Structure 1
Amino acid sequence: MSLAIDVYHTGCFVPKPFYYANPDKESVTGVEVSNMEFKEFMTYLRSLIRNKCRDVYYCLQNRALVDGLRELRDEDDYVRFMDVG
């Protein structure tokens, strides 16, 4: 499975209204994730943004950030991420 991913990083979450302020953005296409495990994907992300990530989140498609934000913490979360990808 190949994905196109927009990676926003180095910003900060603002509570009211809830949004991600001042991020840097990296867009990648053709990311081959079908053979990656969670740890490999995290290593890929860290290399993409030069090790500037502490926590990783994704947002469900067609959902507002406040409703669609999900944390990517482990292999189970990664499987759900790929299912919606």
Structure 2
Amino acid sequence: MASSDDHLKVDVYYNGAFVPNSLLYFDPDITTISGVDLRELDFEAFIELLSKVTRMSCVDVYFCLPYESLGEGIHSLYNDGDYKEFLEMGYNNGKRMKVYVDQYNEPIFDWIEADDGEEEGTEDLDCEEDEDSVFSDAESVDHEEDVELDANNHTTTDQFLNILCPSAPLNEDKHDDLPQDPIHNDKQAWDKMEPILGM
């Protein structure tokens, strides 16, 4: 009789849900079947064993190697042929497999095909964008004529601009032409004061 080390260990993922876009099995409960010689069981007996372990009806069942992503390595487990492939892959790859129970009957393989189609479409778009983004030497581009700016042309009569640009030279001649506002005399008696506009 074979020892339990010679048996295939199966990690069973159940009570979760498959989600599309880089296919994942979300929020599962996990249990392991070990110590059972699965080669002695046929497909129907294996499904009954899964139903006992998960305590749920196992209609849509999938399997995958532990080191492969679901999107690339998932296989359906619907009949004796699939079960033989499952056993063969398991015993040839470290005697460990993952089994997923889908209670929601999700269109998993349609999702995988859609993801593959989107990736191919994006590659085509990237190539088109790269071709369009390269400028051709044959195309002519019209430019406006370059205009030389006079850096010394500062407005010196505007006091606000002179405050912002103190390094600008002041024109003393024009500064004398500016209106002079009256200045408040604090020594004058309050009852003799007459307010003047601009004071």
Q: Which has the higher strand share?
A: 1
| Aligned equivalents of 2:58, 2:28: Cα separation in 1 | 12
Q: Which among 34, 39, 47 is matched to residue 29 of structure 1?
A: 34
What is the Cα deviation at residue 79 of structure 1?
Answer: 0.3
1:3 and 2:40 correspond: no
| Aligned equivalents of 1:25, 1:37: Cα separation in 2 | 23
Amino acid at match of 2:51: R
**Secondary structure in structure 1 of the residue aligned to 2:12:** strand
Assess if the C-alpha contact under 8 Å between 2:8 and 2:34 holds in 1. yes
**Secondary structure in structure 1 of the residue aligned to 2:50:** helix
After TM superposition, the score normalised by the length of structure 2 is: 0.41
After TM superposition, the score normalised by the length of structure 1 is: 0.90
Q: Which among 75, 80, 83 is matched to residue 70 of structure 1?
A: 75
Gaps of 5+ in 1: none
Assess if the C-alpha contact under 8 Å between 2:22 and 2:71 holds in 1. no
Gaps of 5+ in 2: 1-5, 91-199
Q: Which among 22, 25, 33 is matched to residue 20 of structure 1?
A: 25
| Aligned equivalents of 1:21, 1:51: Cα separation in 2 | 18
1:47 and 2:49 correspond: no
**Secondary structure in structure 1 of the residue aligned to 2:39:** coil
Identity %: 35
What is the Cα deviation at residue 52 of structure 1?
Answer: 4.0
Q: CA RMSD in A?
A: 1.4
How many residue pairs align between the two structures? 85
Runs in 1 of length 4+ with deviation above 3 angstroms? Answer: none
The structure with the largest alpha-carbon Rg is: 2
